[in-house]
Amino acid sequence: MSAMSQDDLPSTRPYLIRAIHEWCCDNGFTPYIAVAVDEWVQVPREFVKDGEIVLNTSYDATGNLRLGNDLIEFKARFGGVAREIRVPIDHVLAIYARENGQGMAFPPPERESAQAQSEQPPQDEPPPAGSGRPALKRVK
């Protein structure tokens, strides 16, 4: 077998998200995710502020929660109205416990990986500027 390069390895992000989500639930905390919202994210737009939304992903607040490798999907009520939520994994900026803020932050999505995860065509937007190198920071 040949050695895999860094580019061939699957992302650790979905695994870390699932681990922190499980840690929150096991310890009685409420898992929240902060999401970068663009045309690839399906959330109620009226709750988006400055291009981001924070979502409660506890089992009590969601229905049919699926924390997949490419997508987080669930049903939730917003103002009493049931909504379908779809968040590409690379759009999750952080997952943390509401009660104490402990969790993990992630770099914002890169335009080309967002396109690869969606069946929708792009909306003629310029790619976001970025440093090119991801960096993690601690969320307290």
pLDDT digits (tens, 9 = 90+) for 6-63: 667 889 999 999 999 999 999 999 999 999 999 999 999 999 999 999 999 999 999 9
pLDDT digits (tens, 9 = 90+) for 87-97: 999 999 999 99
Indicate the Cα dihedral angle 104, 108, 112, 117, nearest 10°.
Answer: 50
**Residue 16, helix vs strand vs coil:** helix
pLDDT digits (tens, 9 = 90+) for 63-88: 999 999 999 999 999 999 999 999 99
Domains of the chain, first to last: 10-110 (2.30.30.220)
User: pLDDT band at 112, cuts 50/70/90?
Assistant: low
Q: Which H helix or E strand runs over 85?
A: strand 81-88
Residue 26: the pLDDT is: 97
Token code pair at residue 102:
């402990």
CA distances from 25 to 5, 29, 91 (A): 34, 6, 22
CA 116-114-98 angle, to 5 degrees, is 140
